[in-house]
């Protein structure tokens, strides 16, 4: 059996390399049908499904996506968009003035893909969201709930996933007011607001209540177990920390898993031109400043081989979410603690690898933060950073300007009002067209981080060079692909442009050259993720 699986996996890889995606999908699916634990088949299967779009509803593709969503370790964020695309085609959004029929609601309650998406993903399609809001209201009728309770509970899960960001109006309030206090009424109210004691009072909702309230209760308990390494002193750090105490970020539901690999060996091969690199003791000590709710640190702890991760953040509430998820996933090689990046040198410790994505640009002085990281990174260590791009966030800058002009608050009512006005076109055609394309537009904490942050800096490559100047860091290269597989130059527009302009410079590691490429076409960069070497 094991030999057959290996042969089938090798065949799948061959088909994938030849870009025979239909054949590769079938081959990867066959491997997973024999052994669901094969992450080396699951991740490439998801990578193909993520790209899949069809002109009409495709039952086989929908079934593959549904089965992938059910496998532990699948990248559910990647699967959300193709799944939603299939559901949009299947239900073909009806007349917005017409309520969904009872028969349609009953059919939706039996739709495994729909229930899986609502339960395990965040819906990120505004047309489908509007349809589901009509569905939600139609479900708030006593003679309907009993025939469609799985759909009601799945929509309640979705509400919890997006943190109750979907719009609510007087008609919704009237529908809810007409409901009784039985289990059906409690379930319907959970589609609009956090599950309460009225739901907990009904035994038939026990498992549902345990899901929605259990994680929240465990996170609150975990917060008391987060140590503070150094009290927060910087004024901006305290303000940013307070924001994330109210809205822990990022909002995530599942952790992508891949076969663990040696990160230093991977990077040593990719950036061989900068070597040789020193050998470090095992396990590799990894520092994750700005850990947030733990999704990135936990992916490192789970997917890098032989590492010990220290995750720090300004927000104890965010770290408590990460700790709770780590315990649920049985990931034990990670430690969470509250601390400011600026205070890292006070900890009296050092690390052989550092990753900090989307963090420095929220500091009052990003260079001071990077200098602090340099002080605790061992010479020869790799440093991975992610920064906002000036060009890529121009629509966010426009949104922030309109928020300031109109006085939208950053509480849930303000977020809903801002979002509704964006989708209605009241804040301009560009925001209506572009802002909903951002994943962070579709969850309360994500939207607050996207458009309402108390501090942000944005970069172009010239500013990125200025950030690095004078620090003991060597630029190694940008990251243009998901994961750690090096992208081929011919597959990435920015790399193609660099290779055409500088054909003799094959390392792609000259920032002055990259600045020329960016000036010629700023749209090549929406933001920056890149690797550095601590010299």
Q: How many DSSP H helices and E strands does the chain contain?
A: 26, 7
Structure tokens that stand for 486 in this block: 């090096």
The string of DSSP letters for 241-280 reads HHHHHHS-S-----------B-HHHHHHHHTGGG------
Residue 29, SS3 per DSSP: helix
Query: For the segment 266-287, what is each residue's pLDDT rounded down to a tens digit?
Result: 999 999 999 999 999 999 999 9
pLDDT at 485: 40
19 Ramachandran zone, left/alpha/beta (phi>0; psi -120 to 50): left
Cα distance between residue 153 and residue 111, in whole Å: 13
pLDDT > 70? residue 85: yes
Query: For the segment 324-335, what is each residue's pLDDT rounded down to a tens digit?
Result: 999 999 999 999
Cα distance between residue 147 and residue 107, in whole Å: 9
Cα distance between residue 67 and residue 90, in whole Å: 18
Structure tokens that stand for 113 in this block: 């893909």
Helix (H) or strand (E) holding 117: helix 112-120
Query: Which is nearest to 378 in space by CA: 354, 359, 346, 356?
Result: 354
Cα distance between residue 350 and residue 286, in whole Å: 9
Query: For the segment 218-269, what is each residue's pLDDT rounded down to a tens digit?
Result: 999 999 999 999 898 888 888 888 888 888 888 898 999 999 999 999 999 9
Query: For the segment 450-478, what is each residue's pLDDT rounded down to a tens digit?
Result: 999 999 999 999 999 999 999 999 999 99
Whether the Cβ atoms of residue 308 and residue 284 lie closer than 8 Å to each other: yes
Cα distance between residue 168 and residue 18, in whole Å: 49
All domains of the chain in start order, with CATH: 28-217 (no CATH), 235-390+458-534 (3.40.50.150), 394-451 (no CATH)
Task: For residue 316, name the pLDDT band (cuts at 50, 70, 90).
Answer: very high
Whether the Cβ atoms of residue 446 and residue 243 lie closer than 8 Å to each other: no
Query: For the segment 372-406, what is each residue's pLDDT rounded down to a tens digit?
Result: 999 999 999 999 999 999 999 999 999 999 999 99
Whether the Cβ atoms of residue 79 and residue 47 lie closer than 8 Å to each other: no
pLDDT at 1: 57
Query: For the segment 175-210, what is each residue's pLDDT rounded down to a tens digit?
Result: 999 988 889 999 999 999 998 888 888 988 999 998
């Amino acid at each position: 059996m094991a030999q057959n699986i290996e042969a089938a996996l090798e065949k799948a890889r061959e088909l994938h390399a030849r870009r025979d995606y239909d054949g590769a999908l079938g081959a990867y699916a066959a491997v997973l049908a024999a052994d669901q634990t094969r992450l080396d088949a699951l991740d490439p299967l998801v990578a193909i499904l993520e790209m899949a779009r069809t002109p009409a509803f495709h039952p086989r593709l929908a079934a593959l996506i549904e089965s992938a969503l059910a496998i532990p370790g699948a990248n559910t964020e990647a699967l959300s968009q193709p799944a939603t695309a299939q559901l949009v085609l299947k239900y073909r959004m009806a007349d917005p003035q017409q309520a969904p029929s009872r028969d349609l609601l009953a059919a939706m309650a039996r739709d495994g893909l729909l229930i899986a998406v609502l339960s395990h993903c965040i819906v990120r399609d505004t047309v489908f969201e509007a349809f589901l809001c009509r569905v939600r209201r139609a479900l708030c009728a006593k003679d309907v709930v009993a025939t469609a309770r799985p759909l009601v509970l799945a929509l309640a899960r979705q509400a919890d996933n997006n943190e109750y960001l979907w719009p609510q109006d007087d008609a919704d309030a009237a529908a809810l007011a007409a409901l009784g206090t039985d289990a059906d009424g409690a379930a319907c109210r959970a589609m609009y607001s956090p599950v309460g004691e009225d739901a907990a009072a009904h035994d038939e909702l026990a498992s549902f209540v345990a899901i929605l309230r259990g994680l929240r209760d465990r996170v609150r308990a975990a917060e008391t177990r987060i140590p503070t390494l150094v009290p927060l002193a910087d004024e901006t750090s305290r303000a940013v920390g307070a924001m994330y105490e109210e809205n822990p970020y990022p909002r995530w539901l599942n952790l992508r898993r891949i076969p663990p690999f040696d990160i230093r060996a991977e990077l040593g091969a990719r950036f061989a031109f900068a070597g040789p690199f020193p050998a470090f003791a095992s396990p590799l000590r990894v520092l994750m400043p700005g850990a947030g709710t733990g999704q990135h640190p936990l992916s490192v702890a789970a997917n890098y081989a032989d590492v010990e991760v220290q995750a720090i953040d300004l927000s104890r509430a965010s770290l408590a979410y990460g700790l709770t998820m780590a315990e649920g996933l049985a990931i034990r090689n990670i430690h969470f603690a509250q601390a400011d990046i600026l205070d890292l040198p006070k900890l009296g410790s050092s690390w052989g690898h550092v990753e900090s994505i989307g963090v420095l640009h929220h500091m009052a002085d990003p260079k001071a933060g990077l200098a602090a990281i340099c002080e605790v990174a061992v010479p020869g260590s790799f440093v991975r950073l992610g920064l906002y791009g000036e060009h890529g966030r121009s629509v966010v800058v426009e949104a922030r300007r309109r928020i300031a002009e109109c006085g939208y608050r950053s509480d849930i009512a303000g977020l809903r009002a801002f979002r509704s006005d964006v989708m209605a076109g009241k804040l301009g055609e560009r925001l209506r067209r572009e802002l909903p394309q951002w994943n962070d537009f579709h969850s309360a904490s994500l939207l607050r981080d996207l458009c309402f942050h108390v501090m942000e800096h944005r970069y172009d490559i010239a500013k990125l060079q200025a950030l690095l100047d004078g620090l003991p860091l060597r630029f190694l290269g940008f990251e243009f692909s998901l994961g750690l597989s090096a992208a081929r130059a011919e597959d990435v527009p920015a790399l193609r442009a660099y290779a055409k302009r500088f054909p003799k410079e094959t390392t792609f590691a000259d920032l002055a050259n990259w600045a020329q490429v960016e000036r010629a076409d700023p749209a090549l960069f929406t933001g920056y993720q890149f690797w550095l070497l601590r010299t």
